[in-house]
Every structure is written in structure tokens, then in C-alpha cells.
Amino acid sequence: MGKQLVVLVSGSGSNLQALLDHDELGGAIGRVVADRPDAGGLDRARSRGVEAVSVAPGDHPDRPAWEATLGEAVAEAAPDLVVLAGFMRILSPAFVHRWPLMNVHPSLLPAFPGARAVTDALRWGVKVSGCTVHFVDEEVDHGPIVAQEAVPVHDEDTPETLHARIQAVEHRLLPHCVALYCRDRLSIDGRHVRILP
């Protein structure tokens, strides 16, 4: 029996699509949860017969109430791993400690954490950017790194062109890392994640 996965999305869900399309994930996506009812990722999930629900902050009186409902929506699917695939909200330490969480981020962490990573990298004038798959801890874009891959930055790049090239790598790297987790091939020792044979 493979691992149970829940995927959290905020936008179009291209990284979710990469997970759905991966033939050897070693786990089943039991539910997709979005923080916006119009998130394209919900349609991608439903088109594959995966249960998809939205838990919008605006439907709740405050952030703790929203996160409690989000937690219930995740818990109902009993996940072994929660994957943040373009989920653009910060989660509390209490939420982060309920399940293992894996995130994909469009920079080579620890450089350029946060929501404007691609724009920040271009403003800094870096020659190389990339993406990072990491476990989530209490700090933003901070947890132990599973894998990284570099993407060259071109002189004529805009945030859109660079992000598109980074996303192409994300769509390969995130499913690879999730599959390693589902096959019990990741060992975490402090900040170090080792890939087991």
C-alpha cells in the first residue's frame, strides 16, 4: 500500500499536474485543498477523479479559524505527507508539526525566500537561480533541503521567462522527491536530508 498524499495549491496547479502525471509516485493523492475557490488546481484534481475542496480565508472570522478548517480538510484524508505545490500561505508551527510537509520553492535556498523569489533574484543580478524542494519547518522557506537544481539566468530574462524555466525544473524535481519519500528513501538528520539506496 502506497503513501497517502494531500496536495495544497493556490493557483493554476502546474506542479500538482506534474504529480498527477507521474507514473511511479509510489503514493496516491487522496485530496487536493486550495485556499481559493477559483484555483485552477481544483479543476486539475477533479478531472483526474481526485477529491478537491477549497478553504478560503475570507470565509472565516480570523486566521486561526481558517487554519483549523484547513487542518480538518487535510486530516480527513489521513495523509502520510502533505505537499505544498504553489501554496502561497504561511502555516503556523502547530500546523507544520501535524504532518511531514514538503514544499517547492523557485530559488536556490537559502537565497531569496518568500513570495517574490524570482523577481528578487533578477534584481540582485544573480547569474544562476533554480528551485529547491525542502521539508517545511516553522520558518518561511527554511526547512531541510531534499534537492536543488540550478537554472541559468539570461541577460534578457524577465520574471516571467525565468520563472517559466524554473517551473519546468520544478515539474520534474518535485515528483522525484515525493517519490523518494513515498519509497522511504529520505532520512532527515537535523538540516541534512540523505537519499537512501
Q: Provide the pLDDT for residue 150.
A: 98
Q: How far apart are CA 42 and CA 81, in angstroms?
A: 19
Mean pLDDT, range 150-164, rounded to an integer: 98
Q: What is the mean pLDDT of the chain?
A: 96
Exposed (0-12), middle (13-18) or buried (19+): which is 10, by Cβ within 10 Å?
A: middle
Give the relative orientation of helices 117-124 and 159-182 as an angle to the nearest 10 degrees: 120
**Is residue 195 scored above 90 in pLDDT?**
yes
Q: Provide the pLDDT for residue 110.
A: 97
Could you tell me the three cell numbers for 172?
A: 520534474
**Is residue 10 scored above 90 in pLDDT?**
yes
Q: Clarify whether 105 is annotated catalytic.
A: yes
pLDDT band for position 118 (cuts 50, 70, 90) = very high
pLDDT tens digits along 119-142 = 999 999 999 999 999 999 999 999
Q: How far apart are CA 93 and CA 40, in angstroms?
A: 27
Tell me if 86 sits within 8 A of 9, measured CB to CB: yes
Q: Provide the pLDDT for residue 17.
A: 97
Tell me if 44 sits within 8 A of 17, measured CB to CB: yes
Integer-rounded Cα radius of gyration of the chain: 16
Q: How far apart are CA 94 and CA 133, in angstroms?
A: 21
Task: Name the catalytic one among 97, 105, 154, 176.
Answer: 105
Q: Provide the pLDDT for residue 1.
A: 63
Q: Provide the pLDDT for residue 66.
A: 97
Q: Provide the pLDDT for residue 73.
A: 98
For 70, residues 6+ apart whose C-beta sits below 8 A from its C-beta are 33, 35, 55, 95
**Is residue 9 scored above 90 in pLDDT?**
yes
Tell me if 35 sits within 8 A of 87, measured CB to CB: yes
Could you tell me the three cell numbers for 5?
A: 498524499
Question: In percent, how much of the chain has pLDDT > 70?
Answer: 99
For 23, residues 6+ apart whose C-beta sits below 8 A from its C-beta are none
Q: Provide the pLDDT for residue 41.
A: 97
Domains recognised in the chain with CATH numbers:
3-186 (3.40.50.170)
pLDDT tens digits along 160-179 = 999 999 999 999 999 999 99
pLDDT tens digits along 47-105 = 999 999 999 999 999 999 999 999 999 999 999 999 999 999 999 999 999 999 999 99
